[in-house]
Amino acid sequence: MIEKIEIQWLICFQAVYDKRSFKLAAEQLQLPMSNVSRHVALLERELHVRLLERTTRKVAPTAAGKQLYQSITPLTQAMDHALEEVSLSGDSLSGHLKIITPDLPFLADILAEFCIRHPQIKLSCDTQLDPTEGLLDGFDLVLRFGRGQLEDSGWVAREILRLPSCVVAAPEFLKRYPPPQSMDELSKIPCITSLSILQGMPWRFKQNKTVQVQSGYKVNSGQMAKAAALKGLGLAILPLHSCGSEINNGLLVKINCNSEPEDLVLYALYSGRRYLQVKVKTFLEHLQSAISHSGLSSNQD
């Protein structure tokens, strides 16, 4: 029977099954929705069984559809892995690499250099500081920052970069608010926090300590948080590497609260399937190598 089945039919069926939507599957596969619908219909006709129930509101797999999906998914993943491995025997890596990453200059340079080294790679890059779980679908790799323990997302999380951090404030701010001597005192002083990422509130410290701070200035940018701290708008947690010169020049003061903030960690998140895609594996090796030569602290698994 296999000689009667087109691989594209199976790929379209898998995408619709994963997304529970013909429209979203078509977007992921970069195909017209009519093509995806036709491929699934041809597969059902050849198998003489309905795989997906369609309504105006949703798509749901039948028992046969669930059985087929569970059976073919390990096989198609192994085929994809084998094809990517073979592609490395040529002169260059090829394929479509889809990444979500923070919009940071050093990451932009690393991505550009990777594509220069592998000109057959087609890159799609979305700059999101705090991608939502639903947005992760359809991407090969997500780079995101975190402090403390990551929430379980079902993705493999590899630590790429670890940045020790500190609490800082401008001297003029400390004239209005005495430097806090303990974590409890932090809750009574204006702080600069993140808008939606890194569990902006409460602030997280090592040994699983937290403190609920008050904030009237919330941003999703380390540069904006640093600028606000320099203007005396509040206390901020910043990576040491980004504020070391300001501390040395007296523009910022490092605050000792008898506890260190959790390190800022850059994680690479990717699908937990058995075989890591070669294009993802190669990019992660490039990323970690570039960071290790950049002078930033890094940690590899």
Q: What's residue 235's pLDDT?
A: 94
Q: What's residue 301's pLDDT?
A: 39
Per residue in 171-222, pLDDT (tens digit) is 999 999 988 888 888 888 999 988 655 545 588 898 888 888 888 888 878 8
Residue 170, pLDDT > 60, answer yes
Q: Yes or no: is domain 2-87 CATH 1.10.1740.10?
A: no
What residue ranges of the chain are covered by domains with CATH 1.10.10.10?
2-87
CA nearest neighbour of 263 among 162, 195, 172: 162
DSSP the chain: -GGG--HHHHHHHHHHHHHT-HHHHHHHHTS-HHHHHHHHHHHHHHHTS--EEE-SS-EEE-HHHHHHHHHHHHHHHHHHHHHHHHHTTSSS-EEEEEEEE---HHHHHHHHHHHHH-TEEEEEEEE-SS--HHHHTT-SEEEEEEESSPPP-SEEEEEEEEE-EEEEE-HHHHHHSPPPSSHHHHTTSEEEEESSSTT-SSEEETTTEEE--EEEEEES-HHHHHHHHHTTS-BEEEEHHHHHHHHHTTSSEEE--SSPBPPEEEEEEEE-SSSPPHHHHHHHHHHHHHHHTTTS-B---
Q: Which residue has the higher pLDDT, 91 or 289?
A: 289
Give the whole-angstrom CA distance, residue 170 versus residue 284: 38
Would the pTM count as exceeding 0.75?
no
Give the whole-angstrom CA distance, residue 259 versus residue 265: 18
CATH architecture of 165-254: 3-Layer(aba) Sandwich (3.40)
Q: How confident is the model at residue 271 (pLDDT cuts 50, 70, 90)?
A: confident
Residue 239, pLDDT > 90, answer yes
Q: Which residue has the higher pLDDT, 40 or 88?
A: 40
Q: What's residue 135's pLDDT?
A: 53
Q: How confident is the model at residue 300 (pLDDT cuts 50, 70, 90)?
A: very low
Q: Which residue has the higher pLDDT, 181 or 41?
A: 41
Q: What's residue 244's pLDDT?
A: 94
Give the whole-angstrom CA distance, residue 50 versus residue 63: 9
Q: What's residue 90's pLDDT?
A: 54
In sequence order, what are the residues at sequence separation of 6 or more whose Cβ sits closer than 8 angstroms to the Cβ of residue 268? Answer: 141, 142, 143, 157, 158, 160, 284, 287
Q: In this structure, are residues 168 and 244 in contact, taking their beta carbons and an 8 Å threshold? A: no
Per residue in 60-82, pLDDT (tens digit) is 999 999 999 999 988 888 887 77
**Per-residue pLDDT averaged across 29-55, rounded?**
92
Per residue in 86-127, pLDDT (tens digit) is 765 555 678 889 999 988 888 999 999 999 999 989 999 988
Q: What's residue 64's pLDDT?
A: 95
CATH architecture of 95-162+264-294: 3-Layer(aba) Sandwich (3.40)
Per residue in 130-142, pLDDT (tens digit) is 665 545 567 889 9
What residue ranges of the chain are covered by domains with CATH 3.40.190.10?
95-162+264-294, 165-254
User: What is the average pLDDT score of the chain?
Assistant: 85
